[in-house]
């Protein structure tokens, strides 16, 4: 090993909490060995299960490949990644570029013989830890859902678990205007012109895609069954892409849903359905005795067609009560429409 006086070293702190403690640990270790800290990287509050959504670790790799330092110092290897595959590949790339990886608290050193075995075990332990946290969180939320308690999530129209009168008025206006034929984009444009605060406008965010109301935000409100007092948990799960780190929602089987009705959270009438109120004032015709259902004229309108295309399968059951021809799902919803499923 070359004398420390001519070694360009670097400090890397990724996915740390709290940051200050790990900065201190790594800095003291660098001072003890006479290394100069030239750069610091961190990913505050971002999961280490993937690399694609971690700007700090991506900048670290770019700087290492450019030769800006030759030592990466971390408190332990889980700070680099909690994925077995990503961790091993990352260390192999760094070592191939002549960069040494050192873990302060777990004693890892890429110069030691057998370091790959330690890195592999660290990755396995990291993945097991993520799975354990996921299972424990799911179990705790499942218990709260079965006890009809709040399970998290923030929806426009509610504050501290109760209906907000001001926002509830806007929710009713959105449902009413959509029922009258206005598009989601038109509604969003009008709300912005009137300077109505959009959902999440007061939330503390580091980045924001756009300011004000968006058509997609209006569409989400129209799909939300909570406005009818129906609280449903476990209807979907978030699946993370191992490359990009982005999550997408995947529907769960209906038998796994946990739902109940809370009239205190109702903002719109149940007759409005999930996102639309029929505009026909006439009486609905009875279905023929043969069992074939007849569509209501209002259901053939352009806004209703848009809603039918955009709603998820598990949200169409309310429309079936209005005459849509999907009899198996109609019977399925009748079994739980009078109370909690």
Written as one string, the DSSP assignment of 83-116 is: -HHHHHHHHHHHHHTT-EEEETTT--BTTSTTHH
Tell me what the pLDDT averaged over the chain comes to.
75
- Residue 108 in contact with residue 79, Cβ under 8 Å? no
Nearest to 14 by CA among 101, 119, 95, 99: 101
Same domain, 16 and 125: yes
- Is the pLDDT at 100 greater than 80, yes or no? yes
> Can you give the CATH number for the domain in which 28 is found?
3.40.50.1390
DSSP characters for 66-87? TTS-SEEEESSGGGT-S-HHHH
- Residue 233 in contact with residue 215, Cβ under 8 Å? no
Using DSSP's 3-state secondary structure scheme, residue 16 falls into coil
> Can you give the CATH number for the domain in which 163 is found?
3.90.1750
- Is the pLDDT at 106 greater than 60, yes or no? yes
Select the more confidently predicted residue: 148 or 275: 148
Q: What separation, in Å, do the N-terminal and C-terminal C-alpha atoms of the chain show?
A: 68
Give the strand pairing for 230-233 and 162-163.
unpaired
The residues that bridge with 236 in the sheet, in sequence order, are 251
**Exposed e or buried b for every residue in 240-264, given b needs 16+ CB within 10 A?**
beeeebeeeeeeeeeeebbbbbeee
pLDDT at 47: 73
The tokens for 224 are 């939300």
Would residue 64 count as lying in a domain? Answer: yes
pLDDT at 210: 67
Q: What is the pLDDT of residues 32-55, one digit of tens each?
A: 888 888 888 888 777 777 777 788
- Is the pLDDT at 174 greater than 90, yes or no? yes
pTM over 0.85: no
Q: State the Cα–Cα distance between residues 47 and 50, nearest whole angstrom.
A: 7
Same domain, 190 and 117: no
Domain boundary, last residue among 280, 301, 328:
280
Same domain, 165 and 106: no
Domain that holds residue 103: 8-129
pLDDT at 33: 87
- How does residue 136 score in pLDDT terms, banded at 50, 70 and 90? very high
**Chain centroid offset of residue 116 CA:** 34
Would residue 256 count as lying in a domain? Answer: yes
- Is the pLDDT at 23 greater than 70, yes or no? yes
Q: What is the pLDDT of residues 254-295, one digit of tens each?
A: 999 999 998 989 998 765 555 454 343 344 334 444 444 444
Domain boundary, last residue among 257, 280, 303:
280
pLDDT at 49: 74
- Is the pLDDT at 233 greater than 70, yes or no? yes
Q: Which residues contact 302 (CB under 8 A, 6 or more apart)?
A: 181
Q: What is the pLDDT of residues 289-330, one digit of tens each?
A: 444 444 444 445 555 555 555 554 444 444 443 343 443 333
pLDDT at 161: 82
Domain boundary, last residue among 250, 265, 280:
280
Q: Which of 69-78, 117-126, 224-233, 236-245 has the lowest mean pLDDT?
A: 236-245
Average pLDDT of the segment spanning 173-190: 92
- Residue 49 in contact with residue 87, Cβ under 8 Å? no
pLDDT at 205: 59
- How does residue 239 score in pLDDT terms, banded at 50, 70 and 90? confident
pLDDT at 11: 43
Q: What is the pLDDT of residues 190-229, one digit of tens each?
A: 999 999 988 877 666 555 566 789 888 899 899 888 998 8
Would residue 186 count as lying in a domain? Answer: yes
Average pLDDT of the segment spanning 236-262: 85
Would residue 230 count as lying in a domain? Answer: yes
What domain count does the chain have? Answer: 2
- Residue 22 in contact with residue 75, Cβ under 8 Å? yes
Q: State the Cα–Cα distance between residues 54 and 65, nearest whole angstrom.
A: 17
Would residue 324 count as lying in a domain? Answer: no
Same domain, 164 and 56: no
């Amino acid at each position: 090993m070359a004398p420390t006086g001519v070694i360009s070293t670097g400090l890397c702190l990724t996915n740390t909490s709290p940051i200050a403690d790990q900065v201190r640990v790594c800095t003291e270790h660098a001072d003890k060995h006479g290394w100069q800290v030239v750069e610091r990287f961190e990913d505050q509050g971002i999961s280490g299960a993937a690399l694609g959504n971690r700007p700090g670790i991506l900048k670290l790799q770019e700087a290492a490949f450019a030769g800006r330092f030759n030592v990466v110092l971390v408190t332990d290897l889980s700070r680099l990644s909690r994925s077995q595959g990503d961790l091993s590949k990352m260390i192999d790339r760094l070592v191939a570029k002549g960069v040494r990886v050192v873990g302060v608290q777990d004693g890892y050193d890429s110069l030691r013989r057998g370091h790959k075995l330690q890195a592999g075990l660290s990755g396995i332990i990291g993945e097991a830890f993520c799975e354990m946290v996921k299972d424990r969180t799911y179990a705790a939320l499942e218990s709260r859902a079965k006890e009809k308690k709040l399970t998290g999530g923030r929806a426009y129209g509610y504050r501290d678990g109760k209906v907000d009168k001001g926002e509830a008025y806007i929710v009713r206006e959105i449902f009413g205007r959509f029922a009258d034929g206005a598009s989601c984009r038109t509604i969003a444009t009008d709300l912005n012109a009137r300077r109505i605060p959009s959902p999440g406008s007061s939330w503390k965010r580091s980045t924001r895609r756009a300011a004000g109301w968006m058509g997609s935000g209006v569409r989400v409100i129209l799909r939300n069954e909570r406005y009818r007092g129906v609280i449903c948990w476990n209807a979907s799960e978030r699946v993370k892409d191992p490359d990009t780190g982005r999550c997408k929602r995947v529907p769960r089987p209906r038998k796994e849903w946990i739902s109940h009705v809370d009239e205190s959270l109702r903002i719109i009438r149940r007759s409005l359905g999930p996102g639309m109120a029929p505009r026909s004032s006439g009486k609905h015709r009875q279905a023929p005795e043969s069992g074939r259902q007849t569509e209501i004229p209002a259901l053939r309108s352009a806004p209703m067609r848009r809603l039918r295309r955009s709603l998820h399968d598990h949200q169409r059951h309310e429309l079936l009560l209005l005459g849509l021809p999907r009899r198996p799902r109609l019977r399925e919803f009748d079994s739980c429409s009078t109370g909690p499923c």
